[in-house]
């Protein structure tokens, strides 16, 4: 009978030992080495203490004293808690059971308040909100994360998300900046299909009347409609190498305004070609002789700049409110857009005579005046170029343009000439594949870039849209 009792004790201890190690059956890269060591030490220590009590019943008093001593010492040396029965094992077990919860994904992938023996650099404070959706049928998991902890920057999130690929069982990731201290992390088990790789072709019937503020021009990388709001926007920069789709993009950005009585569009075509011929009849001012007649272009720009200043001073749309956008664009007081294509024709002084250099400086001052003062007056300048350089895009003008589109470029210098500095981890125009005609990255007021692709509308369709008396509501792709 004693032998049977002994065998039952041994079986009970071995059974408990086996059960305590079951959570290790699916250990992956999700679990760091320190967690693994703590779990093993705690499980072994727990098994040893239980075995001592089972085989030496009178040892309970001695065990209680040793536990008390270890508990007191662990105040100074937290690692001693691993030797207490069940202590670290239960904490680690909770970690394993809740492995798919937003809290534990943030802790394990981003390293905020991980389960460990010492305080972290973040002082063990859980000062964040998180929402997690597991892998769907497309093999994508998403973690939305808001954090106010000092030190959790864009660079930190991108670095830790990349390091957390193994923990997520993923091969690819993307960090989407949603706002200050707010990110959306995407993880994919296999390389995802990029919706921007498919060309977006539309017809004139796919366009809607301009609502006085927003233009829909294509798609974002998330598959959402890409929109530009002219409200409170006084400067737009568009640049890219020849053939990248700049003219097609500019068509989508300007056509709704050209077709609307709520907008007045002045066009300066520095190339002197036929790229903007489709818009000539609808434009309030059309000049495609800038390269041949710089004095006339200079005078026209200065006249527009003076009108902008006059509007700002008198605000004719309201006797009491100096902000154009509070009243909004109307046929009586339209929004004014000045388009300058191939801006280097008006801005670059290379090889110019002394007289022409003086005219170029006057052009720069006129454009800078509209960009600086036009926001509240309902004026905006759109600058386009196929040669993104510091000479063709003066930094004092570019830096005051809150919206900047960079289509494909081949050098970092060209990208920065359009966008300025690009935060780490953001999409870059040098990464746009050559076949993705119309692909671009757009930079907003927060300094971050978003990958987009312009839809393609043939200029014949654009001309037909301007001849129509009405434009149908957008369907199909752009507003769905």
pLDDT for 391: 66
Distance CA 461, CA 459 (A): 5
Q: Is the sign of the CA dihedral 226, 231, 237, 243 positive or negative? A: positive
Q: Where are the domains of the chain?
A: 1-97, 98-192, 196-467
pLDDT for 35: 64
The fold for domain 98-192 equals Gyrase A; domain 2 (3.30.1360)
Asked if CATH classification 3.40.50.10150 holds for the domain at 196-467, the reply, yes or no, is: no
Domain 98-192 and domain 196-467 have a common topology: no
The parts of the chain modelled with pLDDT lower than 50 are 114-125, 469-480
pLDDT for 115: 38
Distance CA 451, CA 441 (A): 4
Measure CA 64 to chain center.
57
pLDDT for 116: 39
pLDDT for 480: 37
Which has the closest alpha carbon to 477: 222, 254, 224, 214?
224
């Amino acid at each position: 009978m004693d032998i049977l009792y002994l065998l039952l004790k041994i079986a009970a201890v071995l059974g408990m030992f086996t059960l305590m190690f079951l959570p290790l059956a699916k250990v992956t890269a999700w679990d760091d080495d320190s967690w693994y060591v703590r779990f093993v030490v705690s499980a072994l220590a727990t098994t040893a203490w239980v075995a001592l009590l089972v085989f030496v019943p009178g040892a309970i008093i001695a065990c209680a004293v040793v536990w008390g001593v270890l508990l007191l010492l662990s105040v100074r040396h937290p690692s001693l808690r691993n030797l207490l029965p069940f202590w670290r094992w239960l904490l680690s077990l909770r970690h394993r059971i809740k492995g798919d919860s937003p809290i534990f994904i943030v802790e394990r992938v981003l390293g905020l308040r991980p389960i460990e023996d010492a305080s972290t650099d973040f002082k063990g404070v859980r000062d964040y909100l998180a929402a997690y959706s597991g892998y769907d049928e497309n093999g994508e998991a998403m973690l939305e994360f808001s954090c106010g902890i000092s030190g959790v920057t864009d660079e930190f999130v991108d670095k830790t998300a990349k390091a957390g690929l193994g923990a997520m069982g993923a091969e690819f990731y993307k960090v989407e900046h949603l706002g200050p201290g707010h990110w959306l992390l995407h993880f994919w088990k296999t390389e995802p299909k990029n919706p921007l790789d498919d060309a977006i072709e539309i017809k004139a019937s796919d366009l809607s009347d301009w609502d006085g503020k927003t233009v829909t021009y294509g798609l974002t990388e998330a598959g959402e409609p890409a929109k530009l709001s002219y409200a409170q926007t006084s400067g737009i920069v568009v640049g890219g190498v020849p053939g990248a789709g700049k003219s097609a993009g500019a068509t989508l950005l300007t056509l709704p305004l050209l077709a609307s009585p709520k907008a007045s569009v002045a066009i300066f075509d520095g190339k002197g070609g036929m790229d903007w011929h489709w818009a000539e009849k609808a434009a309030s001012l059309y000049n495609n002789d800038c390269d041949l007649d710089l004095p006339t272009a200079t005078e026209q720009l200065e006249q527009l700049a003076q009108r902008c200043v006059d509007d700002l001073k008198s605000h004719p749309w309201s006797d009491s409110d100096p902000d154009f956008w509070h009243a909004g664009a109307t046929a009586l007081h339209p929004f004014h857009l000045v388009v300058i294509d191939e801006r280097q024709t008006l801005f670059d002084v290379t090889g110019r005579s002394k007289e022409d250099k003086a005219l170029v400086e006057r052009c720069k001052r006129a454009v800078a005046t509209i960009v600086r003062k036009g926001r509240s007056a309902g004026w905006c300048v759109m600058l386009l170029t196929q040669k993104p350089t510091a000479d063709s895009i003066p930094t004092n003008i570019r830096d005051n343009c809150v919206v900047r589109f960079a289509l494909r470029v081949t050098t970092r210098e060209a990208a920065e000439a359009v966008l300025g500095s690009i935060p780490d981890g953001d999409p870059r125009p040098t990464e746009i594949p050559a076949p993705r005609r119309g692909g671009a990255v757009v930079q907003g007021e927060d300094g971050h870039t978003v990958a987009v692709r312009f839809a393609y509308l043939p200029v014949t369709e654009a001309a037909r849209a301007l001849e129509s008396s009405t434009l149908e509501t957008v369907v199909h792709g752009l507003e769905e």
